[in-house]
Amino acid sequence: MYFFKNNFSQTFWYFSPMGCGASVDGDSDSQTSLEEWEKAQRRRRSILSDVSDADSENSVTFHKDIQEKALKASGFQQGASIAIVEDINYSAARESSTLTNASDDDRLFLDNDFPPSEVTLYHSTNRMRDPQIVWLRPHELIMRPELLVDGVSRHDIVQGVLADCWFLSSCSAVAQRPDLMGKVIPSNQPLSGEGYKGIVTFRFWRFGRWVTVYVDDLLPTKKRKLIFSRSSEPREFWVSLLEKAYAKLHGSYEALEGGQAMDALVDLTGGLAEMYVLESAPPHLYNFLLQASSNGAFITCSRKGDWKETRKADANGLVSGHAYTISAVATVKLSTGSEAYLVRIRNPWGNDTEWNGQWNDSDTNWHNIDFNTKEKIDYSKRGDGEFWMSYQDFCREFEEVTICSLTPVLTHHSTLKTNAVAETPQPATILKTVHGRWEEGKSCGGSRNNLVSFSNNPQYLLTVSPKMNRENESKCNIVVALMQLRRRCVRHPRRKMLQIAFVIFSALGAEDLRGSLLTGGSKFITRKPGQVQLISGRPPQAPSVWISRYS
C-alpha cells in the first residue's frame, strides 16, 4: 500500500501488524511444485541440442539454490513455489548463470528459469500445443540485429498474437519518455558481434523497488516470423525481449493475456496510476487529461468488451476489449473561430486499424486547422495505428482511462482551470509502503456486506495537520494505492486476482472511534476480478484524524 499527500506538513500513521494484501492461505494447490518446475526446465527444443546435459544440470542446480533462498525469504514453503520469484537477486544470478552456461565463446546463454519450451508459453494445461513453434535468436532471423535502433519510440511497438495490449499500450506511453525507458532497458547490450553472450537484462518496478530480470534472447517463431510482439524496425528487438522479460516476471507468456494498463504503467515507471470510468468521470476530466499530458504523465484507455471474443475492429475502426495509448491531448482553434477538444490515440497493433469517424486522418475537419497548428500537434496520415478523435467521441467510444504520473498531480479536479493551462505539479511525498498478507481466520474480513467480519481487516490511523503558512487551506489530497502481489504467477487454469478494496472513515475523536463515518475509498473490483492487480483513490480530506482500512 502506498500513501501520497500534499499541502500539509505533518502526517501521523498508526499501522496495524498486517499491511496490504499479498496472498491468502490455501493457494498451494494452484502453484507449481519445485520438482515439477525442475522437470519442465529440462525440456529442450532440438534446435538447442548443442547445450550439453552437464551444463543443463549445473544451471538447474544453481537456479534451484537461488529459488529456494528467495522462497524462504518470501515466506513460501518448499514444494509450493511460484514459477518465478521477484525477490531473486537477478544481477548475481546473471553473472553466475553466464559463467555456468556461457563460459565458452561459442556457447550462448540459456535461461533455465525460463526455458525455450511450452512451460514458458503456457501456464494452463488445456492449451493446444503448436509443434510449428521454433525458438530462434535475433541473429538467426536477421543480419546485425540490435536491441535498440535510434532509441525507443511509441511507433516501434507492433502487437502479435498474444492478447497483452494492456502491456504494450503502456510501453508505447512510456516510450514517449526515452529517459525513463532507459531505466527499464539498460544500454550497451549487443545482440551480435563483440560482447554478445545471448543474455539481455531489463528492470521493472515491483512493489516498492526496482528489480532486474535477465532472459536469454531466444524468441518463439513460426516460419521464421515472430509470433508475439515485435518492432516496426526489423533489426530492432527491444519490444520482443522486453515482453519476454515481463512474461518471465509473471511466469509465462500466457499469464500476460488480459490485464489492466495501470498495472503495467506502474511496473514500467514506479509511478502512481489512477483509473477513471468515463461514464462516471469528473466533469473536468478533459482539463485533467490535458494537464497530465502537458506534465509528461503516461495515459492509456480501453474499450468495453471481452478480449477473448474479438480480434476485429467494429464499423468505426475500433476494437472492443482492447487497450490503447493516449499519446496527446490538444485544444485547437478552428478557422470558424470555435475550438476543438481532441485526443490522439494509438492502437498497439501498429497498422491501419484506426478510428474512421470525425477527426480521423482523412476527415474534412482538418481543413479548418492551419498548417502551423497541424505541425505543432504532429498531425499525419501514416496509417500506423495512431489517430485523432474528438473528446466527445472518445468518451462515448471508450470505457476507461488510466493516468500514471511519477509525481501525481494532487490538485482536486474541481479546482482545475477551464482553460487548462498546465501548471507545475506539486511534489508528492511517499510516506509509507507496507507489505503483508490477509490470513484466514485472522485478518480476512471481506467486504462491508458482512460488518461482523469486516472489522477484522487491517486498519491504519492517519492524522493530517495543516502547515503554519497554510491555515486557510480547508482540504488536501491523500492518494492511496493498494496492490496484490504475484497472483499472475500462479500456474493454474482457474488463476485469478483477488477482489480488493479500501475504505476511509472519519474518526470523530482520537479516543472514541465508534462514531466514525465513511468518507471515501474504493469500490470492490468485481467486474474484472481476473485482471485487477492495483486500485487507487484520492479522497479529498480536511485536516483531521482518519482511519484507512483495506479489505
Active site residues: 165, 322, 347
Q: What is d(CA 265, CA 103) in angstroms, rounded to the nearest whole number?
A: 36
DSSP letter string over 250-273?
HTSSGGGSS--HHHHHHHHH--EE
Number of neighbours of residue 445 by Cβ within 10 angstroms:
20
C-alpha cell at 167: 502491456
Residue type, 177: R
Residue type, 282: P
In angstroms, what CA-CA distances link 227 with 45, 64, 135, 467? 17, 30, 10, 56
DSSP letter string over 226-244?
ESS-EESSTTB-HHHHHHH
Backbone angles phi, psi at 531, to 5 degrees: -125, -20
Q: What is d(CA 208, CA 434) in angstroms, rounded to the nearest whole number?
A: 9
Which residues make Cβ contacts (< 8 Å) with residue 536, sequence separation at least 6? Answer: 262, 272, 273, 274, 275, 479, 480, 481, 482, 522
Q: What is d(CA 495, CA 482) in angstroms, rounded to the nearest whole number?
A: 20
CB 500 within 8 A of CB 551: yes
Count Cβ neighbours within 10 Å for each residue of 12-31 and write b for 16 or more, e otherwise: eeeeeebbbbbbeeebeebb
Query: Which single residue is written with the C-alpha cell 546435459?
Result: 53
